[in-house]
């Protein structure tokens, strides 16, 4: 797919940049991979009920508890 030069220049797209595409009704939304990642990170960071929680820490604690149970058997 060829992205017109005017759009590449306006968005600062360099050769080799990864793009993602998604449908929004009848529209195709194109974004850079990095912008999509930032948007997802913000979405999860701002998700209700997650304030002050670290899902990574919770996952690690669950894995450690599971390993302890397996070692106790």
- Please report which helix (H) or strand (E) contains residue 19, including its range: strand 19-24
Per the structure, the complete domain to which residue 33 belongs is given by 5-72
DSSP annotation of 2 reads -
pLDDT per residue over 56-67, tens digit each?
A: 889 999 999 999
pLDDT at 48 over 80: no
Handedness of CA 20, 49, 58, 45 (dihedral sign): positive
- pLDDT score of 43: 84
Q: Total structural domains in the chain?
A: 1
The mean pLDDT of the chain is 89
pLDDT at 49 over 80: no
Rounded Cα distance between 51 and 25, Å, is: 32
- Is pTM beyond 0.75 here? no
């Amino acid at each position: 797919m060829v992205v017109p030069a005017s759009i590449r220049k306006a968005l600062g797209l360099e050769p080799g940049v990864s793009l993602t595409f998604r449908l929004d009704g009848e529209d195709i939304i194109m974004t850079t991979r990095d912008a999509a990642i930032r948007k997802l990170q913000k979405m999860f960071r701002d998700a209700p009920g997650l304030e002050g929680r670290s899902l990574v820490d919770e996952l690690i604690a669950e894995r450690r508890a599971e390993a302890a149970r397996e070692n106790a058997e």
